[in-house]
Amino acid sequence: MVEKLQQNRILWLSSLTCNGNSHSLLNHPNLDLLLQNIQFLYHPLLPSRYRLKEVIQNSYECEILVIEGSIDPTLKINGVKMIDVITRYSSIAEVVITAGTCSTFGGIFSRSNEKASGLHFREEKRTEDFKNIWQKSISLPGCPVHPDLIFKTIQMILKGLYIDLDECRRPKIFYGWTVHDGCNRNEYYEYKIGHHRFGEMEGCMFIDHGCRAPFTRGSCNKILWNGINSKTRAGQPCSGCTEPDFPAFNLWETKKHMGIPAHAPLGVPKRAYISIAGVAKAFKIERFEKRILKKGSAVEKKH
């Protein structure tokens, strides 16, 4: 996407945010390695060269601008409109990364604030304000974004590697597949077996509990959280946090018409899904008919 950068100064600006993406980055096991390779001009939580006030009042040279949080044109910090600070630094930086769903699509803040949006999108709809920097933008949605996606994207930029992006400017290497890919409940999904209880390891949550992973792009079941787990592996449905329509309403409930999920897996025509589901359901898979684990057997202490 860009030539190898000559320097590696990163400016992390927070707009309307809970700072979840800043905190997420702190969870990266190799954060010290990242900090050896880059310099934060400013980050809300990590050692930085400047204070926020200095960043707002000046125009420092930086190679990468990371934006966290929804952009509300009326939001002021230290008396300065944050949108003006973002505009100024986005013209200086060679690459602009939106970290998290709020800065990418508007996210949770845009649901209650009609002025708030992401850098280039308000949900699916393209916005106008920053169209001049579209070509140098990379979207890393997630609520929060997985720390490894920030880490690896920055590493790829620093090395001058080509990053293939989708129509929302998400790197395909992370967002080219769905979160369903890699879930350890796929056998249950194949045969349309629900019988899921929250927090337990058996059953597919797409059948009754609103799992949005089959139409949510991301790597949660391939690049695991804390290196060990994901929501769906742990027994909580995916709530689709990397997609433009996040947060959806009626989470954890599969909306159905005539017993068929209203939302088919990504790219699968509804008619094809109904046919396949009908065939799969016709099989009685004895192995899954009764529960494999006794309730609590994996977690309770044996006395």
| Residues binding ligand SF4 (CB under 6 A) | 142, 179-180, 183, 185-186, 189, 204-206, 211, 213-214, 216, 218, 220, 230-232, 238-242
Residue 123, judged by CB atoms within 10 A of its CB (0-12, 13-18, 19+), counts as middle
Among 84, 104, 116, 95, CA closest to 241: 104
Shortest Å distance, C-beta 261 to ligand SF4: 10
**Which is nearer to ligand SF4, 116 or 193 (by Cβ)?**
193
Shortest Å distance, C-beta 203 to ligand SF4: 8
**Which is nearer to ligand SF4, 11 or 211 (by Cβ)?**
211
Q: Going along the chain, which residue ranges are E strands?
A: 9-14, 39-42, 64-68, 76-77, 80-81, 95-99, 121-122, 125-126, 137-140, 256-257, 260-261
- CB 129 within 8 Å of CB 83: yes
C-alpha dist (Å) from residue 149 to 31, 68, 104, 152: 12, 14, 14, 5
3-state helix, strand, coil in the chain (%, to 5): 30, 15, 55
Shortest Å distance, C-beta 259 to ligand SF4: 17
Q: In what order do the strands lie in the sheet with 64-68?
A: 39-42, 9-14, 64-68, 95-99, 137-140
**Which is nearer to ligand SF4, 96 or 213 (by Cβ)?**
213
Among 30, 1, 2, 26, CA closest to 12: 26
**Which is nearer to ligand SF4, 23 or 51 (by Cβ)?**
23
Shortest Å distance, C-beta 196 to ligand SF4: 7
**Which is nearer to ligand SF4, 136 or 170 (by Cβ)?**
170
Shortest Å distance, C-beta 80 to ligand SF4: 33
Shortest Å distance, C-beta 240 to ligand SF4: 6
Shortest Å distance, C-beta 19 to ligand SF4: 17
**Which is nearer to ligand SF4, 108 or 220 (by Cβ)?**
220
- Only one residue has tokens 């690896």, namely 152
**Which is nearer to ligand SF4, 5 or 266 (by Cβ)?**
266
**Which is nearer to ligand SF4, 72 or 202 (by Cβ)?**
202
C-alpha dist (Å) from residue 135 to 90, 130, 179: 12, 10, 27
Q: Distance between CA atoms of 76 and 115, rounded to whole angstroms?
A: 14
Q: Distance between CA atoms of 101 and 108, rounded to whole angstroms?
A: 8
Among 243, 226, 246, 244, CA closest to 234: 226
Shortest Å distance, C-beta 71 to ligand SF4: 21
